[in-house]
Amino acid sequence: PSQKKLTRSTYLQSIKTGDSKWLDLMYKFFLTQLIPLMICACGEEINSQVEKLHESSYRGSWYEEQPAARKELLILMTATTRPLTFNYRGIITFNLMCFSTVMQGFYSYITMLI
């Protein structure tokens, strides 16, 4: 049996003929890329929001507030000095750097298969 090479023309031909094998393959391909992107983008967003919270609490006019409010802002600023990361057991930090590493590995693996 001859194997078809995965090219744009074979993909378009499979759409015209109604061959669901290639559509299923492309669906799985995009799904395997979308899930890590969503997880890593959420981790990146969490980290950037904590950084924004720290910056806005520092740049505000905290020095004009009442002592009780200053104490609460000091606690907030102290808590947000360390970056809050979305990770798995401290081993993998989910951010866009992690996503790029996963995609590099994914494309290397696909390149070896093809």
Q: Is residue 20 predicted with pLDDT exceeding 80?
A: no
| Per-residue confidence (pLDDT) for residue 1, from 0 to 100 | 43
Distance between CA atoms of residues 54 and 73, nearest Å: 10
Alpha helix (H) residue ranges in the chain: 8-17, 20-59, 67-79, 96-113
The pTM is what?
Answer: 0.63
Percent of the chain topping pLDDT 90: 0
Burial class (CB in 10 A: 0-12, 13-18, 19+), 30: exposed
Distance between CA atoms of residues 108 and 76, nearest Å: 43
Percent of the chain topping pLDDT 70: 89
Query: pLDDT tens digits, residue range 72-87?
Result: 888 888 888 887 778 7
Q: Is residue 35 predicted with pLDDT exceeding 50?
A: yes
Domain boundaries, the chain: 8-113
